[in-house]
């Protein structure tokens, strides 16, 4: 009897987690950001003269910022793992692994900030670009 109750409890918990996970999924999928190569990005930067072109560039930089923050988080996780393992947190490993990861945490966060600034800049350019649709006063 206890076994059956425990099995039902586990199944109920699994069902509840599944329902919660699917219940939080948005009904409309967000479009994935367009992947631009560096060459395409540079060409777009040189030729951007419409709101749509600047929005594409801003979207590129927003995606880069998200990627950089994910990499910073990965390195933060590694720092915590190295510090949690007492056999790896000696002076030698402190200099070679923990410091290495902490350097990349700071570097990727700075890159994310720079990418955000560039995205904001291009969003502003999109607002000011010629060819912007004119709104009527209605």
Mean pLDDT of each 10-residue bin along the chain, 138 residues long: 43 39 44 79 92 94 97 95 77 79 96 97 90 49
Write down the pLDDT at residue 89: 63
Q: Which residue from 82, 78, 104 is spatially nearest to 93, judged by alpha carbons?
A: 82
Which pLDDT does position 54 carry in this prediction? 94
Assign 3-class secondary structure to 77-134: HHHHHHHHCCCCCCHHHHHHHHHHHHHHHHHHHHHHHHHHHHHHHHHHHHHHCCCCCC
- Report the pLDDT value the prediction gives residue 20, as an integer from 0 to 100: 41
- Contacts with 83 (C-beta within 8 Å, 6 or more apart), sequence order: 89, 98
- Residue 136: the pLDDT is 42
């Amino acid at each position: 009897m206890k076994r059956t109750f425990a099995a039902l409890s586990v199944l109920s918990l699994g069902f509840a987690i599944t329902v919660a996970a699917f219940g939080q999924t948005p009904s409309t999928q967000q479009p994935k950001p367009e992947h631009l190569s560096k060459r395409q990005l540079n060409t777009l930067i040189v030729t951007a003269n419409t709101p749509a072109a600047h929005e594409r560039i801003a979207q590129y930089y927003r995606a880069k910022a998200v990627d950089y923050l994910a990499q910073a988080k990965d390195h933060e996780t590694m720092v915590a793992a190295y510090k949690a393992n007492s056999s790896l947190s000696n002076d030698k490993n402190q200099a070679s692994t923990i410091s290495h990861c902490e350097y990349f945490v700071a570097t990727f966060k700075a890159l994310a900030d720079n990418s955000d600034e560039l995205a904001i800049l291009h969003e502003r350019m999109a607002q000011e670009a010629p060819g912007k649709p004119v709104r009527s006063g209605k």
